[in-house]
Amino acid sequence: MIELDDQQQRARDWFEQLRDDICAAFEEIEREAGSDAAFTYTPWDRTDPSGEPGGGGVRGVMKGQVFEKVGVNVSTVGGTFEGDFARTIHGADADPRFFATGISLVAHMANPHVPAVHMNTRFLVTTKRWFGGGADLNPPIPYAEDTEAFHARLKQACDAHDPAHYPKFKQWADDYFYIPHRKVHRGVGGIFYDHLEGDFDTNFAFTQDVGRAFLGIFPAIVRHRRNTPFSNADKARQLAWRGRYAEFNLVYDRGTLFGLKTGGNIDAILMSLPPLAAWD
């Protein structure tokens, strides 16, 4: 059992509450579609390389009529980074001890006209304390209306805290969610931020608003597109796009690497992968 200070406990409690709110919203969409699909929750424990308890988390997965596969994971882990990996983590080069708590979500949709989505927010403690995360929309078949609505809601959340946040974090997402070997972006972007340190309450409030913004816009997009008719060609386009998504997550994604390097739960780490994909 990891002993948490007040800031760590507050962050953990929020990420778990956000998980509950998002899962309830997604299950409600399934009910509206006449499906009784629900999340299955699987707790997991982590042992630190030192042999001490290293925290753990809960993997939540739902496979339904609207959400072909959606994972919403929360974790709270701590201990010591192994070897050279500590040098790659902000504030851990001089002291490899760490704490991390966060929520990670990826949704792959049954209808190719409904965009897939990723959202992650986290709080990390090394010799420094910072928040990171963001959200990005990943449509196999993009609609300008959906892209604009998604970005507008994220911009609203950013502007309430600092007008400089949105242009900076949007560009960061554009740069990060890019597949160099394909020379394409993973989707239509969103925001991405990291190493947001300084006043805890200020940065925590912003991170909470990012989660609320996601909850405020993505279910609306799903409801708007879920009944759009689609063809076999549309489905083939979705499966090929999912292949690109899988390539990014397996080759470039920092969260995947962090989970693997810190002894996280393999199924939770790889829940981001689509249920079906195709390569030509």
Task: Characterize the bridge pairing of strands 67-80 and 178-179.
Answer: unpaired
Active site annotation includes 165: no
Q: What are phi and psi of 189, to 5 degrees?
A: 85, -165
**Collapsing DSSP states into helix, strand and coil, what is residue 83?**
helix
Contact in structure between 207 and 7 (CB atoms under 8 Å) = no
How far is residue 275's CA from residue 266's CA, in Å, rounded to a whole number?
16
Contacts of residue 208, defined as CB under 8 A and 6 or more positions apart, other chains included, come to: 14, 18
Of the candidates 25, 116, 134, 23, the one whose C-alpha atom is nearest the C-alpha of residue 73 is 23
Could you tell me which residues are beta bridge partners of residue 104? Answer: 73, 120
Selecting among 108, 118, 151, 185, the annotated active-site residue is 118
- Enumerate the H helices of the chain as residue ranges: 6-32, 144-159, 165-176, 200-225, 232-251, 254-261, 266-269
Task: Quote the DSSP letter at residue 252.
Answer: T
Catalytic residues, which ones? Answer: 118
